[in-house]
A = this chain, B = another copy of it.
Amino acid sequence: MHAFDVLGDPVRRRILELLAGGEMPAGDVVRVIGEEFGISQPAVSQHLKVLRESGFTDMRAEGTHRVYSLDPEPLRSVDEWLDPFRRFWAPRLDALGTEIARGKKARRDGATPAPSDDEEQP
């Protein structure tokens, strides 16, 4: 399952938000999510499974408890996917000068400004 599919479900997004606050046993997740979304223990368990298998969480056993924690890797990938778009709303971040220069130059040359990535110029 692709990272964006995983994040497509509001329950899973909420679970990740919970885990961003620190590790948590499955039971606690079930309780909170159960209250907030009105779904059963198996439903939550299945969401935890998806998160686990897609790499969003780590899990360790502690007695009969399963303690879940956030693994940021997939979120980081999502963040990276956003990179080429970021220039649309974060003009001052990163290589703005370069981008503007290229855009102006391209326009001067009669081309459509290229979007793709940032390389620096001489």
Q: How many interface residues does chain A have, given as a range?
A: 35 or more
Which B residues lie within 8 Å of A89 (CB)? 72, 75-76, 79
Q: A2-B8, A10-B2, A85-B16 are in contact. Are A112 and B79 (CB under 8 A)?
A: no
Q: How far apart are the CA atoms of A82 and B81 in the complex, in Å?
A: 12
Instruction: Give A84-97 as 1s and 0s: 1 = Cβ < 8 Å from B's Cβ atoms.
Output: 11101100111101
In the bound complex, residues from chain B placing their C-beta under 8 Å from that of A26 are none
Task: Return 24 A-B CB contacts under 8 Å, by A number.
Answer: A2-B10, A4-B4, A4-B13, A7-B8, A8-B8, A13-B81, A20-B84, A20-B85, A20-B88, A20-B115, A21-B112, A21-B115, A22-B112, A70-B85, A70-B88, A72-B85, A72-B89, A76-B89, A78-B82, A94-B97, A94-B100, A94-B104, A104-B120, A108-B120
- Please determine whether A97 and B93 come into contact, CB atoms closer than 8 angstroms: yes
Known: A20-B115, A21-B116, A75-B85. 5 other contacts (CB 8 A): A4-B13, A72-B85, A78-B82, A94-B100, A94-B104
CB distance from A68 to the nearest CB of B (A): 14
